Structure 1
Amino acid sequence: MTEMTIETPAAPLPQSRHVATAVPGPRSRMLHQERVAHVSAGFGITLPVFIDRADGGILQDVDGNRFIDFASGIAVTSVGAANLRVRQRVAAQLDRFTHTCFMVTEYDSFTQVCRWLNEHTPGDFDKRTALFSTGAEAVENAVKIARAATGRPNVLVFDEAYHGRSLLTMAMTAKVNPYRLNFGPLPVEVFRAPSANPLRPSDGGAPGTVDAAAALAAVEDMLTERGPETFAAMVIEPIQGEGGFIVPAPGFLAGLRTIADRHGIVLVMDEIQAGMGRTGTLYASEYEGVAGDLTLSAKALAGGLPLSAVTGRTELMNAVHAGGLGGTYAGNPLACEAALAVFEEFEDGTLLANARSIEAVAREVLEPLVAEIGVVVQFRGRGAMLALELADPDTLKPRPDLAQAISAACHAEGVLTLTCGTYGNVIRLLPPLVINDELLRDGLGVLSGVIRKTAAAAAPALSGS
């Protein structure tokens, strides 16, 4: 093992893009070889560079390359990867203790995180919160809570859904490769209904013709077929993340709320990626004026430390027997202190305003590409959760090859982008909410230029298809 020394950085990390070597550079390539020798090949990699420092909107690797961060650790480091408040609170907690297990002896930071979430998650009703470590844990515990409260077994999920990598959440996730492939058999109490995807209507209609009413009728048909009285929970992402940053047709979430109420089904809002200010409101479901009976938080909740939460109606949350919820690391004290620091960062409203400003700038730079470049078939999202979908303009045949080529070219120029979508044909943007305007525009300019160049190179193939 390499001996580590902890040093205080001599100067703030420059908030500018800088490509010092080929990407990846020589030190990253060397470290990647060591990774291959010691780490399971089951872990994928987007960009094989090893990060040395990160702050604001920049990631700096061991070769001195500085990348504009349009990933935020998949929507985790919204307040920045080295946020001062987070560092200070966690450091102070480190001096006191690192762990006791909340189910053994208590500590107040756990309670204070729950209190804040009870006060700030959508829903004008009395709430309780349970803390866990990962998003998948939050999803699974929401299902446990719904089953305990209703006495029913089944769970309804939707096309394009992503809910995690555990056995139950894999069954709830729509995308097979890489998430479900080779891992069956999966739980059988999970049923899938069509979503209200505006670009790709589930009934095969023309793009842009999706009708929330038709999608809701399909949900009712699914429930009728299986028996609505058998469903404990209906789980939906208010903006679908891994499925492609899909914003559902207006009225769809409100319609699900009505259906859930009619049949006594617990409506679970999976806000793991879209929540905690990512979309310009604290929770994405606020745009639709819809509150889940249970709301799930994770990812950005603790500024990079593992923490997740289920917050919901008191009568549901308290339906579980004592000892039925928990986990050794659930609500770890370091993560709770980090979350309290994140909450402080949201107090003055600046981060939410920043998310909305990021959207405005991105729309200015990227939205014109839809009209100008045929393969860019849609720009979508809210706040700092934005995406471009790439497909043949006439057939909507997905073009994951273009998404991968665009992302790789951005990486080479010092801009970290991610792909997603059921077909892998979506470029997604998740910049930290603290990114400055100059850095944001630089990164968007690189992305726009790469898209134009890649689309132009692909034009002969498109015309011949």
Structure 2
Amino acid sequence: MLNKTVEGRRTEAIARGVGVQTQIFADRAENSEIWDVEGRRYIDFASGIAVLNTGHRHPKVMQAVHAQLERFTHTCHQVVPYENYVALAERLNAIVPGPSEKKTIFVTTGAEALENAVKIARASTGRNAVVAFSGGFHGRTFMGMAMTGKVFPYKAGFGAMPGDVYHVPFPIEMHGVTEEASLAALERLFKADVDPARVAAIVIEPVQGEGGFYVTPKGFMRQLRDVCDRHGILLLVDEVQTGFARTGSMLAIEHYDIEPDLVTMAKSLAGGFPLAAVTGKASIMDAPSPGGLGGTYGGNPLGIAAAHAVLDVIEEEGLCDRANRLGARLKQRLEGLRAEVPEISDVRGPGFMNAVEFKDVASGTPNPGFANRVREIALAKGLILLTCGIHANVIRFLSPITIQDEVFSEALDILDTSIREARRA
């Protein structure tokens, strides 16, 4: 079987709106490596977009899912509930920081988690409006698109978005938006467009994912907490991409020494199985009436079993500490290239949620062409990379945290060579 043959079939059979980053088709995978249908090996620095912090087919995750398969695969928790759903909720309630009592619901995708978080916020506050940030990404459902701060490709052509969703600039000092400017824009929004007494929630990612791996400054997050407290607004933290050891802690919000009101989680929660969650203060989570939350597949037993194993693996294998070590090595290697590659404008990211941003040397403007050349050269050498950012000029690194040391060293060498070759392309 050839990749190009399957690609031809894909083009004929699947709507073009489902874009793909590569034209290689997976046949099998193990930890940090993928083999395509032609038998070629790739090092996976994408992890299915941050889904595989514990790697492809981690033995403990696979064992847990196999054991659950032998018992039952579906009952719908709202019809016939099961104990491991309850137990996982208890574990997430303990993980989300802050002294308040917590409660949890399970759904299937990150976008669904954000949708439900907004429902919960509106039910709890009796308010409708939501404030989000430019560059943020919160899913492809209609409310998710409305909150997402990037038009193309997520909103283009889909008509009017749901109302009462507002955006303010995300603080990125290297692009001219200071923390003070962002907070001032929020205050202007409250004076010009929406009464803060109508705002149910402010939603923010601790590290913007699709937006370019820009880190929310600690002081800014704490000031948002103060703004929310002052106006009775809920602080909704989107941990879909940042969660489960990626930033060097179980959740990225742990770096900020604040208590969020609601937290959304998905992606690496279940190690490759579809599962998402909303966890928040119990008094807020209990606002919707019975039947107002849930879904047929929400909290699928296989995903629940996988998630228990993922949490065990993160603790037993010390993945938070490992994320910090791997990220430090990656950033050190990239920083070492800056003197020879002036296109590198920034290297950043907490833990192992890292990115490199490229600029045009002459103008200083974002350089998406350079980023894409690096991605294409690396792919030809067997390393899968993802670009991101409003200008698509950022490469983000999302390797499994369980990547073998020798494979990680190999990947760094390929990355180094690919960046150097991109200058000559």
Shorter-chain TM-score above 0.5 = yes
Q: Name the CA distance, whole Å, in 1 between partners of 2:325 and 2:410.
A: 15
Q: Which amino acid aligns with 1:303?
A: G
* Equivalent position of 2:201 in the other structure: 233
**1:396, distance to aligned residue in structure 2 (A):** 3.1
Q: For the Cα contact (< 8 Å) 2:205–2:216, is it kept in 1?
A: no
Q: Name the CA distance, whole Å, in 2 between partners of 1:409 and 1:128.
A: 46
1:223 corresponds to which of 181, 184, 190: 190
Q: Name the CA distance, whole Å, in 1 between partners of 2:115 and 2:32.
A: 33
2:63 corresponds to which of 82, 88, 92: 88
Q: For the Cα contact (< 8 Å) 2:331–2:354, is it kept in 1?
A: no
* Equivalent position of 2:265 in the other structure: 297
2:18 corresponds to which of 43, 54, 62: 43
2:212 is paired with a residue whose SS is coil
**1:408, distance to aligned residue in structure 2 (A):** 0.6
* Equivalent position of 1:152 in the other structure: 127
Q: Name the CA distance, whole Å, in 1 between partners of 2:404 and 2:174.
A: 32
Q: Name the CA distance, whole Å, in 2 between partners of 1:432 and 1:359.
A: 12
Moved more, 171-180 or 302-311: 171-180
Q: Which amino acid aligns with 2:137?
A: Y
> How is 1:43-442 mapped onto 2 (pairs within 5 angstroms)?
43-202=18-177, 210=178, 212-225=179-192, 226-348=194-316, 350-393=318-361, 395-442=363-410
Q: Name the CA distance, whole Å, in 2 between partners of 1:175 and 1:215.
A: 17
**1:349, distance to aligned residue in structure 2 (A):** 5.4
Q: For the Cα contact (< 8 Å) 1:159–1:193, is it kept in 2?
A: yes
1:49 is paired with a residue whose SS is coil
Moved more, 55-64 or 312-321: 55-64
Q: Which amino acid aligns with 2:15?
A: S
Q: Name the CA distance, whole Å, in 1 between partners of 2:266 and 2:32.
A: 21
- CA-to-aligned-CA distance 1:321-376 (integer Å, 9 cap, x gap): 11100011000111100101101112235111111111111022112233432211
Gap change, CA 1:127 and 1:250, over 3 Å in 2: closer
Q: For the Cα contact (< 8 Å) 1:305–1:335, is it kept in 2?
A: yes
Q: Name the CA distance, whole Å, in 1 between partners of 2:258 and 2:330.
A: 27
**1:394, distance to aligned residue in structure 2 (A):** 5.4
1:296 is paired with a residue whose SS is strand
1:54 is paired with a residue whose SS is strand
Q: For the Cα contact (< 8 Å) 2:44–2:399, is it kept in 1?
A: yes
**1:384, distance to aligned residue in structure 2 (A):** 1.5
Q: For the Cα contact (< 8 Å) 1:377–1:393, is it kept in 2?
A: no
Q: Name the CA distance, whole Å, in 1 between partners of 2:63 and 2:3.
A: 30
1:369 is paired with a residue whose SS is coil
**1:53, distance to aligned residue in structure 2 (A):** 1.1
Q: Name the CA distance, whole Å, in 2 between partners of 1:94 and 1:348.
A: 24
- CA-to-aligned-CA distance 1:201-249 (integer Å, 9 cap, x gap): 23xxxxxxx3x23322222221232111010000000000000000123
Q: Name the CA distance, whole Å, in 2 between partners of 1:450 and 1:342.
A: 33
**1:72, distance to aligned residue in structure 2 (A):** 0.6
- The two structures, once aligned, show a CA RMSD in angstroms of 1.3
Q: Name the CA distance, whole Å, in 1 between partners of 2:340 and 2:173.
A: 20
Q: Name the CA distance, whole Å, in 2 between partners of 1:383 and 1:65.
A: 30
Q: Name the CA distance, whole Å, in 1 between partners of 2:344 and 2:95.
A: 37
> How is 1:9-48 mapped onto 2 (pairs within 5 angstroms)?
27-48=2-23
Q: Name the CA distance, whole Å, in 2 between partners of 1:393 and 1:143.
A: 42
Q: Which amino acid aligns with 2:197?
A: E
Q: For the Cα contact (< 8 Å) 1:370–1:379, is it kept in 2?
A: no
**1:190, distance to aligned residue in structure 2 (A):** 0.4
Q: For the Cα contact (< 8 Å) 1:198–1:248, is it kept in 2?
A: no
Q: Name the CA distance, whole Å, in 2 between partners of 1:438 and 1:156.
A: 44
- CA-to-aligned-CA distance 1:265-317 (integer Å, 9 cap, x gap): 01000000001111111111111222310011100000000100000000000
Q: Name the CA distance, whole Å, in 2 between partners of 1:32 and 1:350.
A: 39
2:187 is paired with a residue whose SS is helix
How high is the sequence identity, in percent, across the aligned residues?
43
Aligned length: 424
Q: Name the CA distance, whole Å, in 2 between partners of 1:259 and 1:455.
A: 45
Normalising by structure 2, we get a TM-score of 0.97
1:157 is paired with a residue whose SS is strand
Q: Name the CA distance, whole Å, in 1 between partners of 2:339 and 2:158.
A: 41
Q: For the Cα contact (< 8 Å) 2:52–2:272, is it kept in 1?
A: yes
Q: Name the CA distance, whole Å, in 2 between partners of 1:114 and 1:249.
A: 29
Q: Name the CA distance, whole Å, in 2 between partners of 1:441 and 1:220.
A: 47
